[in-house]
Structure 1
Amino acid sequence: MSPDVIPPEALFRLLGEEGLSPPRILTLAITGVCNLHCRHCWVEGGAEASAAHVATANLRRLLREFAELGGAGVRLTGGEPLCHPDWFSLLRCARDLDFPQLALQTNAELLRNDTAEALASLDFPGLSIQVSLDGATAASHDLVRGTGAFAGALAGLKRLVAVGLAPRLSLFLTEMRHNFDEIPALLELAEELGIPELTSGALVRCGRAARDERIAPPTATQYLGLLDRYDTDEAFRNRYRARGKIAALEWRGESRARTQDCSFVENPYLSAAGTLYPCLLCHADSHAATEVFAKPLAAAFAEGARPWSALRQLSRERAASIPECRACAHRASCGAGCMGRAWGGCGDFFVPEDRCALRRAVYARKKTNADPG
């Protein structure tokens, strides 16, 4: 069989032989271009990005081929996806391919009344729109994204709410030292706008963040302060239960031992440069399928099967192989953490993830403070 002609059943058999599951949700970067130049950008998107707009014909083909593989959903990202001249037609193409889930990740600044109305016209129950909001104030958000970015994002959010899309929205915060304490205010903003979800992820020291000392990850003291706020502030606790998903609080609620067995290939990420990684966070070029725009998508997944299987085995070995993890009393709670974050922060699979100190602080608190329910 030609390596380029791989029927879905043959691909699934190959993935199964390597101990991998079929892909479910594909995150697809349709451009490396962005209207902003954010200090924390992992992929270093911007107006002069090395990866420009992906050709629309390639993107349509990839969407079609992923549908043929039985994919459950697609997430369009960038750069800033709204910079791509055909972003809306690509969303409509994905909708017409009957993906159960269709997501758009945006900074919301380029949304105008007509684009908000166009999104509402998709009339697709599986649509979700994630808006990045790095603080509840202009001072915090603009420190990272540039002067005027907060006002632009808030205006875009309000346009989406005005056309009835609030139930489809979520806010995403990159946790940093200067904005972490604004999580309660962000939950209040989400409640005010009728947005059902606020999620977050801590800053990773890679991409631009590796070179910019003006931003830093949150501290363990801040994480513990959020736990205290949850324990003592009923209004905050109720808002969080209704809308929040923040690691500091989710970790404390974990009741089962966790093994680090990454779900490689189930949530793959395809960069605007045509590199296919096994997950959103593990961007190791040594274990990636390349030049994907020049080959069938099934062939790209087949190319990645063996290196991704090897990565998955590495993920299983980390807790027993990393000295700090072997000696840690909380090893069963985190399973050595996220291998992708470890790689992103220092280019080594066998180091603790960058949130290790934060996890230890939260897990230690679990022993003395029960969730007040």
Structure 2
Amino acid sequence: MDRPTAFAVPASVELELTGKCRLSCGHCYNESGPAASHGTMTPDDWRTVISECAELGVTTVQLIGGEPTAFPGWADLVDHALSVGLDVEVFSNLYHVTDKGWAVLSRPGVRLGTSYYSVNAGEHDRVTNVAGSHAKTRANIVEALKRGIPIRAGIVRCHDGQLEELARQELLALGVHHITLDDARGVGRAGDGQAPTTDALCGNCARGRLAVLPDGTVAPCVIGRWLGSENVKGPGGLRGVLGGQAWAKTAAGIPPKRTPVMGACTPNDSNDCDPSNTPACAPAYGIAPVPVPLGGCLPNDSRS
């Protein structure tokens, strides 16, 4: 199938398989937890989306949640993505990994993402609201490294006094070299009941990335979930959504963050989704930068 010309093909697509998770992180953007559901997308629905991603020219899919490994058939979805030529990242809290899970994560073309909040076990567990989660996640980070699985970690600042810098140093000492640092975004539980705004976004949503939510809704990213409207279950599938006017309007409505360069402001094209380290500034030349609002995208990155 020819690649589309009417719209930009995203390089990466986040597939939010489920809201179910053993943890209940206080900053979780989709309010995942043990009582959450898998949504309405079936394994066949997800396989269709994955196939269409490959046909469109997407290069990477990220399986995310909640906890993606809690979704029945997640391993088959990894196999399917690999079979159609896609790279796969599984973003897991690494609280519990089965022997079968390790076998899947060890396959060529698969990499792993996780969240880590503090060098202090009590502080990490305070974020996840599950006692013992720090010990299990840390042990499984070590196990992933021992198995040679490519892994990255996201650290999210959730409260004042958090030992995030020590967490970064610990991860480096363990052998994790791809580490991102961000602030909790005002979405989901972190929003404290307030309606989210585009200030919570990094500015790269819908620019080289998008997300498919557990009900099939297409959103600019998992953080910008409230901006989703059309659904992959519609007659045109993912291609139809991306080629439609509603998606174009949504993408155009997300203001890109801008970074100061030699006193001027230029669009942030780093695609790092890490606004805590990417200051924004006003669009006019020479205006001093202003801080980015609290809230973080990290896509990844730190989901649960």
Which bracket does the TM-score occupy, shorter chain normalised?
Answer: 0.7 to 0.9
Report the alpha carbon displacement of residue 331 of structure 1 after superposing the two structures with TM. Answer: 7.6
Whether the 8 Å contact between 2:62 and 2:91 is mirrored in structure 1 is yes
Paired residues for 1:97-246 under 5 Å? 97-99=84-86, 101-120=87-106, 122=107, 124=108, 126-146=109-129, 147-165=131-149, 168-178=150-160, 180-183=162-165, 185-211=166-192
Q: 1:248 aligns to what?
A: none
1:301 matched to 2:242: yes
Q: Give the match's secondary structure for 1:159.
A: helix
Report the alpha carbon displacement of residue 54 of structure 1 after superposing the two structures with TM. Answer: 3.2
Aligned CA distance change for structure 1 residues 275 and 312 (closer, same or farther; 3 Å): closer
Distance 1:333 1:265 in 2: 16
Report the alpha carbon displacement of residue 29 of structure 1 after superposing the two structures with TM. Answer: 0.7
Distance 1:113 1:178 in 2: 37
Aligned CA distance change for structure 1 residues 141 and 105 (closer, same or farther; 3 Å): same
Paired residues for 1:227-266 under 5 Å? 262=204, 264-266=206-208
Whether the 8 Å contact between 2:187 and 2:223 is mirrored in structure 1 is no
Aligned CA distance change for structure 1 residues 317 and 190 (closer, same or farther; 3 Å): closer
Distance 1:182 1:48 in 2: 29
Report the alpha carbon displacement of residue 310 of structure 1 after superposing the two structures with TM. Answer: 2.9
Whether the 8 Å contact between 2:26 and 2:128 is mirrored in structure 1 is yes
Whether the 8 Å contact between 1:262 and 1:312 is mirrored in structure 2 is no
Q: Give the match's secondary structure for 2:170.
A: helix
TM superposition score normalised by structure 2: 0.75
Aligned CA distance change for structure 1 residues 22 and 317 (closer, same or farther; 3 Å): closer
Distance 1:43 1:144 in 2: 15
Aligned CA distance change for structure 1 residues 300 and 312 (closer, same or farther; 3 Å): closer
**Residues 87-114 of structure 1, C-alpha deviation per residue, up to 9 Å, x if partnerless?**
1111111111111x21110100121344
Percent identity between the two aligned chains:
21
Distance 1:160 1:129 in 2: 8
Whether the 8 Å contact between 1:140 and 1:178 is mirrored in structure 2 is no
How many residues are aligned here?
Answer: 265
* Amino acid in structure 2 at the alignment position of 1:148: G
Q: 1:292 aligns to what?
A: 232
1:34 matched to 2:21: yes
Distance 1:114 1:71 in 2: 27
Aligned CA distance change for structure 1 residues 182 and 266 (closer, same or farther; 3 Å): closer
Query: In terms of mean alpha carbon deviation, does 309-318 or 86-95 score higher?
Result: 309-318
Whether the 8 Å contact between 1:140 and 1:179 is mirrored in structure 2 is no
Whether the 8 Å contact between 1:133 and 1:172 is mirrored in structure 2 is yes
* Amino acid in structure 2 at the alignment position of 1:332: C
Report the alpha carbon displacement of residue 66 of structure 1 after superposing the two structures with TM. Answer: 1.0
TM superposition score normalised by structure 1: 0.62
Query: In terms of mean alpha carbon deviation, does 172-181 or 260-269 score higher?
Result: 260-269
Whether the 8 Å contact between 1:135 and 1:141 is mirrored in structure 2 is yes
Report the alpha carbon displacement of residue 78 of structure 1 after superposing the two structures with TM. Answer: 0.8
Runs of 5+ consecutive residues of structure 1 not aligned to the other structure: 1-6, 16-20, 213-259, 320-329, 343-354, 360-373
Structure with higher strand content: 2
Q: Give the match's secondary structure for 1:13.
A: coil
* Amino acid in structure 2 at the alignment position of 1:291: N
Q: Give the match's secondary structure for 2:225.
A: coil
Report the alpha carbon displacement of residue 211 of structure 1 after superposing the two structures with TM. Answer: 2.3
Report the alpha carbon displacement of residue 53 of structure 1 after superposing the two structures with TM. Answer: 6.7
* Amino acid in structure 1 at the alignment position of 2:56: L
Q: Give the match's secondary structure for 1:192.
A: helix
Q: Give the match's secondary structure for 2:6.
A: helix
Query: In terms of mean alpha carbon deviation, does 70-79 or 46-55 score higher?
Result: 46-55
Report the alpha carbon displacement of residue 189 of structure 1 after superposing the two structures with TM. Answer: 2.0
* Amino acid in structure 2 at the alignment position of 1:40: H
Runs of 5+ consecutive residues of structure 2 not aligned to the other structure: 194-201, 276-288, 294-304
Report the alpha carbon displacement of residue 151 of structure 1 after superposing the two structures with TM. Answer: 1.2
Report the alpha carbon displacement of residue 293 of structure 1 after superposing the two structures with TM. Answer: 3.1
Aligned CA distance change for structure 1 residues 263 and 158 (closer, same or farther; 3 Å): closer
Structure possessing the higher radius of gyration over alpha carbons:
1
Aligned CA distance change for structure 1 residues 28 and 131 (closer, same or farther; 3 Å): same
* Amino acid in structure 1 at the alignment position of 2:171: A
Q: Give the match's secondary structure for 2:140.
A: helix
Distance 1:159 1:201 in 2: 25
* Amino acid in structure 1 at the alignment position of 2:241: A
RMSD after superposition = 3.3
